[in-house]
Amino acid sequence: MRRICAYIISVALFSGYIPVYGQDTDVPQDSVTIPLKVSFGIEASGPVIYFTDKNVLNTEAYLLYDFDNKKALHAAGGYSNYKYSQYNYSYRNKGIFFKAGVDFNILKPEISGGKYWAGIGLLYGISRFTWQVDSFSYENYWGKHTFSMPEQSDWGHYLEVSPGFRAELLKNLSIGWSVSLRKLLITSASKDLKPAYIPGYGSTGNSISFGMNYFLTFNFSYKKIRVGIKPEPAEEGGSGTGIIRSIR
């Protein structure tokens, strides 16, 4: 799993070259204009998955508020309705979750230009949910018996680290994706009846929950700021301030 995550992050960060924003000439500039934005969006993969698997519905909407060109407030909430059954048990879970934290942009201002974001989000999440086991079968020497557990309410707290990438595709519209790594901190459920699934967190089977998110984001600029550019040392045969630069 670690290799998969490393691979995805590598793809994100080295997916290519991005045009410099706000440079109309080859003349070196000492600052760029960055629009600070309020953005809201939705996580797109949840509804798509629901079309193929009616047992899993995850919806999530979020709000981003740029503090500056590097940091943004990230607040999100969502609803989940999850059903799972296999040969020996049938499980249902539904509930809501909220999470909030900060997104850090690691791109240089002259690269991001307010249009691109590559970085990491650090979020704290709270989930409130109900779950029940419609049936589970237990078979041993004494025979086969079927049991059930009534609906019960629980909550869970978790931390989320989500490296990702967003790019402005059209004016005011961005798309992006992130990898989510979540660590369950505490849950009100007893240790013997840990829920199989927690809304916003995911499956509880492993110590770290892994997820992929695809975003559609609508952006609205509320302010523009000038951000200084660190001069790069001149390279032989190049100005060092060309139109195309790699993400490093």
Partner 1 sequence: MRKSFLKIISAFLVIIPVFIFSCTPGSCYDETEARVKASMYQSATEKIVAPDSVSLFGLERDSAIYKKTSNITSMLFPLDPTTETCTFLVKINGESDTVTFSYSSYAHFISKECGYTYYFTIEQPVTTNNIIDKIVLTKKTIKTLNEENMRIYY
Amino acid identity, position 187: T
Q: How far is CA 99 from CA 50, 67, 78, 165, in A?
A: 22, 18, 9, 19
Maximum Cα–Cα distance across the chain:
84
Nearer to partner 1 by Cβ, of 47 and 231: the residue is 47
Positions in the binding site for partner 1 (CB under 8 A): 4, 7-8, 11-12, 15-19, 45, 84, 86, 88-89, 133, 136, 138, 140-143, 145, 147, 149, 165, 167, 169, 175, 177, 192-197, 203-205, 210, 212, 214
Nearer to partner 1 by Cβ, of 4 and 61: the residue is 4
CB of 46 to partner 1, least distance (A): 12
Tell which residue, 229, 246, 118, 120, has the closest CA to residue 174: 118
Residue with tokens 């909430």: 77
Cβ-based burial of 199 (10 A; exposed 0-12, middle 13-18, buried ≥19): buried
CB of 143 to partner 1, least distance (A): 8
CB of 236 to partner 1, least distance (A): 26
The token pair that represents 164 in the structure block: 């990702």
Nearer to partner 1 by Cβ, of 65 and 210: the residue is 210
Tell which residue, 12, 3, 17, has the closest CA to residue 162: 12
Nearer to partner 1 by Cβ, of 59 and 102: the residue is 59
Containing 242, the helix (H) or strand (E) segment is none
CB of 198 to partner 1, least distance (A): 12
Nearer to partner 1 by Cβ, of 49 and 100: the residue is 49
Amino acid identity, position 146: T
CB of 205 to partner 1, least distance (A): 5
